[in-house]
Chain A
Amino acid sequence: MSDRLLLRGGRVIDPARGVDAVQDVLIEAGKVAELGPKLQPRGAAVRDVAGCVVAPGFIDIHVHLREPGREDKETIATGTRAAARGGFTAVCAMPNTTPVNDSAAVTRFVMDRAREAASVRVYPIGAITKGSLGEELAEYADMQKEGAVAVSDDGRPVGSALVFRRALEYAKGLGLVVIDHCEDPTLSHGCCMNEGPVATRLGLRGAPAVSESVIVERDIALAELTGGRVHIAHLSTAAAVDAVRRGKARGVKVTAEATPHHLLLIDELVREREYDTATKMNPPLRNERDRLAVLAGLKDGTIDCIATDHAPHTVDDKRVEYDQAAFGIVGLETAVPLALDRLVRAGHLTLVQLVERMSSAPARVLGLPGGTLAPGAPADVTVLDLARRARVEPETFASKSRNTPFGGLELTGWPRLTLVGGRVVFDAAEPAV
């Protein structure tokens, strides 16, 4: 097969360069070679994408691939196939594996497995502290040398303000971002949903919104103190959005992400679905006021990007009592259609804004390659079919797990084609293997 490919007649949206025009894209040797109207194929394979959107490859900076250690939930192979199918060309792999990715050896393992088995690019995230125990810093430089792009103790947030301060300082010297799952566990201990009238009615222990915002405020204050860079993972509350907005206004180096579920769902769903554990995640679904604040934050740029917090779990981990169930839902194969249908078609974001928040913004937040279709850039491309209407069918997921509250939803706008380094890793026109 030729390593030259011509994407013909698509609407190219490249927010990094301010491009939104119908253009052909010529790909050569894994890179974007040329863009322009009516390019000559010159021997390249031609792919007609008229009517589709051609965007820089989407990047999900918050994914749990579960390998090593919980290959029953997901592997690097299945998780990245899910990513490709969902329109993503790169994912960042959270370090809460078994063992925790807190050393060069584990980072190297993830990179090696990715080279052998991954469908899309994998960027490992190292742990902030050894074992994610919140005590001693992990060896960031070692992990960075093996390919780690940031550090995080996602899921086991650093309790000590001193340790978090040191992490910001140390990471700053290496140009690394510290990603924080902001949660004060003394306020959220034993909780399984959002605190409020719904939790009270259901008799479930609720975590107050403040358990998130109090740590967001701390992190921003420490980033300001140290000059380090902090990225707030899966921001879910109005108070946290406000804290980030104020921090940015003061010039603090803070960025933030939001998940599709926090942008679209609220805690009422736990009641509507009568304790369905597919509604259980951490942070929990919040109330409507929080949801609208997160959405407003995404619109006005306070929240830089969308990330899925793809958290695969086995049926057994979820088919139990609500308070016993594992936290989290899968997101890679639903994020793009949800965003196209519920954010863009619904009028909350323009298509250009959405493309920016899923490609160039996540690349900028963590300093990753990609996020643009500039000539010479890697040919990581996400092609979107805005007209396709289809149902979310968890049974067809490439992911090993099916834990989603979005099953059965009919959505308009789906990934059509995913290219990584010029290679087709997903093609909606081809039946799944």
Chain B
Amino acid sequence: MSAPFPHRHLLGIEPLAAEHIVALLDTAETMREVLGRPIKKVPTLRGRSVVNLFYEASTRTRSSFEMAERVLSADSLSIATATSSVQKGETLLDTAKNLEAMNPDMIIMRHGSSGAPHFLARHCKASIVNAGDGAHEHPTQALLDALTLRQKKGRIEGLKVAIVGDVVHSRVARSNALLLTKLGARPILCGPPPLLPIGVEQYAPVTTRIDEAIEGADAIMMLRLQRERMSGAFLPSTREYHTLYGLTVERVKKAKPDVIILHPGPMNRGVEIASEVADGPYSVILDQVTNGVAVRMAVLYLLLGGGGGEA
């Protein structure tokens, strides 16, 4: 067994060294094997408690975490905004204190404010896992995308990965760009200038031309156009956006023949991605779902001390 995982929290990809990202991916591969068994249940985290605290609706991410918890036999509790005191105006601090009273081993949080998991980490003793915070990071999404890439391409190093679309509002773009760079891939960011935040070059090379981004790409990550956040004249219309940046069959032809296409979901068909592409042979969306559970199992397992705490 290698050295123990040195992090108690997973607040983002940024604080992780490459070797620890690899450790997470390796562990996730073992977990994927568990998911292939007829009886998908191991006692690894029996007696450990996990709270899923979701301030934003996210069926996909939440059910993925819940599945991971169930397979590892953790005791879990899910709190969604619609069913808790959150909607009655309880502060995050009060919620944190109430959760603390239950003494959970881990809190998994999705929150609309960037930095909310850091706040929670300051006020709780539990391990904190960031399941997406504002426009900051979504580390488990980046890990599952990396796992999918590694599974399909056999490696990550050297891959050209185009990340296309609404970069400014995207925590997925940020976490993926950080992770891919750390593991030696060549991400390239692409979108219309209003959707590229100032200083975005710190992550990766940037282009405003989708054909340039896709040219020779091993993988294309399409970002969801977050129309609900568009309060400030970013674009004239989704129609024109599709014309300029939508992923069509024609455009995909410029990539490598074995290109794979990832999307964090849910997709806006006909906006950032054409249906023929979404349903086409290069789509790996179903693999992403399985890998999502495997990666989250790996996160639970490694952050909770490899399950070594069972007595």
Task: Give chain A's interface residues, CB within 8 Å of chain B.
Answer: 189-190, 195-206, 208, 274-275, 316, 319-324
Q: Please tell me if the beta carbons of A203 and B202 are within 8 angstroms of each other in the complex.
A: no
Q: Can you identify 10 A-B contacts, CB atoms within 8 angstroms?
A: A201-B174, A204-B135, A204-B136, A205-B135, A275-B115, A275-B119, A316-B91, A320-B92, A321-B116, A322-B114
Q: Which residue of B lies closest to A319 (CB)?
A: B93
Contact yes or no, A197 B198, CB < 8 A = yes
Q: Is B113 an interface residue (CB 8 A)?
A: yes
The answer to whether A275 and B93 have CB atoms under 8 Å apart is no
Chain A residue, CB-CB nearest to B138: A203
Expressed in whole angstroms, the Cα–Cα distance for A206 and B135 within the complex equals 12
* Smallest Cβ-Cβ distance to B14: which chain A residue: A201
Chain B residues 184 to 240 lying within 8 A of chain A, measured CB to CB, are 197-200, 202, 231-232
CB contacts (< 8 Å) of B232 on chain A: these are 189
Residues in B whose Cβ lies below 8 Å from that of A204: 114-115, 134-136
Q: A275-B118, A321-B119 are in contact. Are A203 and B136 (CB under 8 A)?
A: yes
Complex CA gap A202/B119 in Å reads 13
Cβ–Cβ contact A200 & B115, under 8 A: no
Known: A203-B135, A275-B118. A322 touches B202 (CB 8 A): no
Chain A residue with Cβ nearest B169: A203
Q: Does B111 contact A (CB under 8 A)?
A: yes
Given contacts A203-B171, A320-B93, contact A196 B198 (CB under 8 A): yes
> With the chains together, A324 CA to B119 CA distance in Å?
12
With A203-B137, A204-B134 already in contact, the answer to whether A321 and B113 are too (CB < 8 A) is: yes
Question: Which chain B residues border A206 with CB–CB below 8 Å?
Answer: 197-198
Say yes or no: A200 contacts B198, CB within 8 Å.
Answer: yes
Contact A202 B202 (CB under 8 A): no
Complex contacts, A319 vs chain B, CB 8 Å: 91, 93
Enumerate chain A residues within 8 angstroms of B171, measured Cβ to Cβ. 203
A274: which B residues are within 8 A, CB to CB? 115, 118
From the candidates A190, A195, A275, name the one contacting B114 in the complex (CB within 8 A).
A275
The number of chain B residues touching the other chain, given as a range, is: 20 to 34
Which residues of chain B come closer than 8 Å to A196, judged between CB atoms? 198-199
With A203-B135, A203-B174, A319-B93 already in contact, the answer to whether A197 and B202 are too (CB < 8 A) is: yes
Q: How far is the CA of A199 from the CA of B115 in the complex (A)?
A: 11
Interface residue B133 (Cβ < 8 Å from any Cβ of A): yes
A200 and B114: CB pair below 8 A? no
Report chain B residues within 8 Å CB of A190: 231
Kindly list 10 other residue pairs between chains A and B, CB separation below 8 angstroms, not including A201-B199, A203-B133, A319-B93: A196-B198, A196-B199, A197-B198, A199-B198, A202-B115, A275-B118, A320-B93, A321-B92, A322-B114, A323-B113
CB of A201 within 8 A of CB of B202, answer yes
Closest to B196 in A: A200
User: Which residues of the partner chain B approach A200 to less than 8 Å between Cβ atoms?
Assistant: 197-200, 202
A203 and B114 in contact, given A190-B231, A320-B93, A321-B92 (Cβ under 8 angstroms) = yes
CB distance from B87 to the nearest CB of A (A): 15
Bound form: Cα–Cα A199–B199 in Å: 9
Q: Are A321 and B115 in contact (CB under 8 A)?
A: yes
Bound complex: CA of A189 vs CA of B231, how far in Å? 10
Q: A202-B114, A202-B115, A274-B115 are in contact. Are A323 and B134 (CB under 8 A)?
A: yes
> What separation, in Å, do the CA atoms of A319 and B200 have in the docked complex?
29
Q: Which of B109-138 contact A (CB under 8 A)?
A: 111, 113-116, 118-119, 133-137
User: A202 to B171, alpha carbons, bound, how many Å?
Assistant: 10
Cα distance, A215 to B193, chains bound together (Å)? 25
Known: A203-B134, A204-B134, A275-B118. A322 touches B199 (CB 8 A): no
- Give chain B nearest CB distance to A300 CB in angstroms: 29
In the complex, A250 Cα to B14 Cα: how many Å?
49
| Least CB distance, A307 to chain B, in whole angstroms | 29
A373 CB, nearest partner CB in chain B, Å: 48
- Nearest chain B residue, comparing its CB with the CB of A321: B113
For residue B200, which residue of chain A has the nearest CB? A200
Q: How far is the CB of B50 from chain A (nearest CB, A)?
A: 22
- Nearest CB of chain A from residue B226's CB, rounded to whole Å: 13
B113 contacts which chain A residues (CB < 8 A)? 321-324
Q: What is the CA–CA distance of A190 and B113 in the complex, to the nearest angstrom?
A: 12
Closest 9 CB pairs of A and B: A197-B199, A203-B136, A275-B115, A321-B113, A203-B135, A203-B114, A200-B197, A200-B199, A322-B115
Residues of chain B lying within 8 A (CB to CB) of residue A189: 232
Contact partners of A203 in chain B: CB under 8 A: 114-115, 133-137, 171, 174
Least CB distance from B55 to A in Å reads 10
8 A Cβ contacts from B31-52 to A: none
Contacts of B202 in A (CB 8 A): 197, 200-201
The distance from the CB of A313 to the nearest CB of chain B, in whole angstroms, is: 14
A166 to B: closest C-beta gap in Å: 30
Contacts of A323 in B (CB 8 A): 113-115, 134
Which residue of A has the minimal Cβ distance to B197?
A: A200
A196 CA to B115 CA in the complex, in Å? 17
Q: A324 contacts which chain B residues (CB < 8 A)?
A: 113
Counting chain B CB atoms within 10 Å of each CB, the highest count among A199, A201, A274, A321 belongs to A321
Chain A residues whose C-beta falls within 8 Å of the C-beta of B118 in the assembled complex: 274-275
CA distance A206 to B232 in the complex (A): 13
B309 to chain A, nearest CB (A): 27
Alpha-carbon distance between A198 and B174 when the two chains are bound, in angstroms: 13
Q: Give, as a whole number of angstroms, the nearest-CB distance from A4 to chain B.
A: 54
B198 touches A320 (CB 8 A): no
Residues of A within 8 A of B119 (CB): 275, 320-322
Q: Are B136 and A202 in contact (CB under 8 A)?
A: yes
Residues of A within 8 A of B136 (CB): 202-204
Among B73-119, those with CB < 8 Å from A are 91-93, 111, 113-116, 118-119
CB within 8 Å for A321 and B111 given contacts A196-B199, A200-B202, A275-B118: yes
Q: Tell me the bound Cα distance from A319 to B116 in angstroms.
A: 11
**CB closest chain-A residue, reference B137:** A203
By a CB distance below 8 angstroms, the chain B residues around A199 are 197-199
A residues less than 8 Å from B198 (CB atoms):
195-197, 199-200, 206, 208
State how many angstroms separate the Cβ of B308 from the closest Cβ of chain A: 28
